[in-house]
């Protein structure tokens, strides 16, 4: 319990003891009116002075209509009609509810703060042959850092020496350690669990995984959900309406019945019951908890508006490479057009020169395959021109060479017989002559099939896959995963057109998710109702454009995100319905004089406490 909670608890306890003692003396010996007022004001002010102060600040600041104002009117009115014990009890119980609510919010904030613990405080950098402890912000790209067992990796980079198991649970939500050795890329925020490792830094702190995660989490709560905004607007209108209604409930019957004391009491009961704090507190707290629960599961949601939208998703559109497949291609076969002994050597050296500068996963697979044939630097590519979704052209030793898919060959007006098969095909040639082609394969992620099945179990009506790969390869993957529709051989602009079709076909009021990881996915991620990016392997552009980031590239996390969103929204609706039904019931009773201030306070604060406790269930969602 925090210090401010302890202080409030002390005030509540002290006030309650004083109230009980005064009430007991009053019942036993009876106190005269002036002494009674003086004595009851002591526990009242002890527990409620801050509420009075907040109400004054609200009035002077031009925002009088809040729960503090309502509590002051209700308790001042109780003092005015001589119901002194009720006035003190109302403030006591209200502050008790505030204490429970504050502790609940504190717990939800602590769950987010735990995630913030991924930030490293220091880093050991090797400079001039010695280790120096510095802030991660001071380390530059290319420098070497040392990480010992039990320490957090401060920055993204590649292991150059040593090996260790790494704990990524703070980043991805997965508890199983990952083994890493020289050549493996690692992310800042992971914890070294084994031996000492040396890492070559690949990005500055401001561009690191840790910094991106912290920025995403810190900014997540600035974007309010539609329900949250609605409750805020509702309260701004609702509270003055309630005050005016209570005033009319007092004035009109008082004039008619000539009994102002009775109707003042009923108006005060009406005010207390009408306080909207249960809704104002529980709705944002539910979304706060839902975002925290998602973060602990390795799902970063950039705002409650996106968490709410995820609950209404009926269509999910996927990229293929790196999203449903591993994105780690390998050359399965090489077909050459010439029967000459040097044919393999020529096509591989040409392909290597063309593709070695590309970071496209297929190009990297071809480059890796061709390394064994490259014995000298005789093939050097100049005037390199890469066309997105097609391939690359360049001049090599005076010849115009190319490497790419069938679309590139058609663009270059090269005659060829299109290769058959279900794998990706990369054609290579020079001077309008086709030298041969590589067959490239990509494996489906082990979790992808189960993720698609579970999405359909959650109520997803349609799954779609869009890819730049050849149609036969895309169709094969779609069939293996039971995806409803697939389209291949798409350029980035084609993906946008396909997504527009899906957006126009979904039911009104429902949402469409696009899941991708590449730079070419950024436009469609931004166009979709909700964009989900694969964070671990995903490009910076895709992560920036997305509304949700999955930290470990596991398609199962899409299911988790939707499930958390649906459960969070259900809890929000439960709180709204529960609060409105209970309050309406007691409002009717209060208007007919069937409820006292004591009972009204139980109705108001009790509903608030129950709603807040119900909201805290979101913290444990998975």
The domains found in the chain, sorted by start residue, are 330-441 (3.40.1110.10)
Q: Can you list the residues of the chain whose pLDDT is less than 70?
A: 1, 65-66, 101, 104-119, 169-176, 209-210, 212-236, 275-278, 280-281, 375-377, 420-423, 518-520, 535-543, 597-598
How crowded is the C-beta side of 442, counted as CA atoms within 13 Å?
A: 27
**What one-character DSSP code corresponds to residue 255?**
H
Exposed (0-12), middle (13-18) or buried (19+): which is 1, by Cβ within 10 Å?
exposed
Reading the block at residue 226, the tokens are 């539609």
CA distance 331 to 440: 4
**What one-character DSSP code corresponds to residue 222?**
G
Reading the block at residue 168, the tokens are 């990524």
β-pair partners for 158:
185, 200
| Helix 33-60, helix 67-80: angle, nearest 10 | 160
CA distance 169 to 176: 8
Q: Of these residues, 228, 319, 469, 521, which one is catalytic?
A: 319
Residue 253 CB partners (closer than 8 Å, separation 6+)? 259, 263, 266
The string of DSSP letters for 34-102 reads HHHHHHHHHHHHHHHHHHHHHHHHHHHTT---SHHHHHHHHHHHHHHTT-HHHHHHHHHHHHHHHHHHH
Q: Catalytic residue at 540?
A: no
Number of other CB atoms surrounding residue 255 within 10 Å? 10
What is the phi/psi pair of residue 460, to 5°? Answer: -70, 125
Q: Scanning the structure block, which residue is given the tokens 């003042």?
A: 264
Query: Which tens digit of pLDDT belongs to each residue from 596-617?
Result: 766 777 777 778 778 878 887 8
Number of other CB atoms surrounding residue 129 within 10 Å? 5
State the pLDDT at residue 467. 86
State the pLDDT at residue 481. 93
Query: Which tens digit of pLDDT belongs to each residue from 414-453?
Result: 888 887 665 678 999 998 889 999 988 888 888 999 999 9
Q: Would you say the pTM of this structure is higher than 0.75?
A: no
Collapsing DSSP to helix, strand or coil, 31 comes out as: coil
H-only helix segments in 117-175: 169-172
Exposed (0-12), middle (13-18) or buried (19+): which is 380, by Cβ within 10 Å?
exposed
Number of other CB atoms surrounding residue 413 within 10 Å? 7
């Amino acid at each position: 319990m925090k210090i401010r909670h302890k202080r409030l608890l002390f005030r509540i306890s002290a006030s309650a003891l004083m109230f009980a003692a005064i009430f007991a003396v009053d019942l036993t010996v009876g106190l005269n009116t002036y002494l009674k007022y003086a004595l009851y004001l002591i526990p009242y002010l002890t527990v409620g002075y801050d509420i009075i102060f907040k109400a004054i600040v609200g009035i002077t600041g031009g925002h009088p209509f809040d729960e503090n104002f309502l509590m002051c009117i209700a308790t001042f009115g109780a003092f005015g009609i001589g119901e002194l014990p009720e006035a003190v009890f109302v403030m006591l119980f209200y502050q008790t509810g505030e204490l429970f609510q504050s502790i609940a919010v504190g717990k939800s904030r602590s769950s987010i703060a735990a995630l913030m613990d991924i930030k490293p405080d220091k880093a050991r950098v090797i400079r001039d042959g010695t280790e120096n402890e510095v802030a991660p912000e001071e380390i530059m790209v290319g420098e070497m850092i040392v990480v010992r067992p039990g320490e957090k990796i401060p920055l993204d980079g590649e292991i150059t020496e040593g090996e260790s198991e790494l704990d990524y649970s703070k980043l991805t939500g997965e508890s199983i350690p990952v083994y890493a050795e020289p050549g493996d890329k690692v992310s800042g925020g992971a914890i070294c669990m084994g031996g000492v490792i040396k890492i070559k830094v690949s990005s500055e702190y401001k561009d690191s995984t840790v910094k991106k995660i912290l920025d995403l989490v810190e900014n997540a709560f600035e974007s309010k959900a539609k329900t949250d905004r609605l409750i805020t607007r509702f309260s701004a209108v609702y509270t003055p309406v309630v005050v005016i209604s209570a005033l009319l409930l007092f004035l009109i019957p008082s004039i008619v019945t000539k009994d102002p004391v009775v109707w003042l009491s009923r108006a005060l009961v009406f005010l207390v019951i009408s306080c909207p704090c249960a809704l104002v507190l529980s709705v944002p707290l539910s979304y706060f908890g839902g975002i925290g629960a998602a973060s602990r599961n390795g799902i970063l949601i950039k705002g409650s508006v996106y968490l709410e939208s995820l609950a209404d998703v009926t269509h999910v559109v996927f990229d293929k490479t790196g999203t449903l497949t591993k994105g780690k291609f390998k050359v399965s076969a090489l077909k050459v057009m010439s029967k000459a002994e040097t044919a393999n050597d020529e096509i591989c050296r040409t392909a290597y020169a063309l593709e070695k500068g590309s970071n496209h996963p297929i190009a990297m697979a071809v480059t890796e395959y061709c390394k064994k044939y490259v014995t000298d630097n005789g093939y050097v590519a100049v005037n390199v021109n890469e066309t997105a979704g097609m391939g690359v052209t360049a001049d090599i030793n005076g010849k115009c060479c190319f490497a790419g898919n069938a679309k590139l060959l058609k663009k270059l007006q090269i005659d060829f017989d299109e290769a058959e098969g279900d794998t990706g095909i990369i054609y290579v040639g020079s001077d309008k002559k086709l030298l041969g082609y590589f067959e490239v394969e990509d494996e489906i992620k082990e979790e992808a099939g189960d993720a698609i099945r579970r999405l359909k179990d959650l109520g997803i009506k349609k799954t779609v896959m869009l890819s730049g790969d050849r149609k036969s390869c895309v169709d094969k993957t779609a069939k293996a995963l039971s995806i409803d529709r697939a389209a291949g051989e798409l350029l980035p602009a084609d993906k946008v057109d396909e997504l527009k079709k899906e957006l126009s076909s979904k039911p009104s009021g429902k949402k469409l998710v696009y899941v991708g990881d590449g730079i070419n996915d950024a436009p469609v991620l931004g166009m979709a109702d909700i964009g989900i990016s694969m964070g671990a392997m995903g490009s910076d552009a895709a992560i920036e454009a997305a509304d949700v980031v999955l930290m470990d590239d596991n398609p199962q996390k899409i299911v988790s995100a939707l499930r958390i969103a649906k459960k969070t929204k259900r809890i929000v609706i439960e709180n709204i319905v529960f609060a409105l039904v209970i309050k309406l019931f007691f409002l009717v009773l209060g208007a007919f004089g069937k409820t006292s201030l004591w009972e009204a306070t139980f109705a108001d604060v009790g509903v608030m406490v129950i709603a807040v406790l119900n909201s805290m269930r979101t913290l444990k969602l998975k």
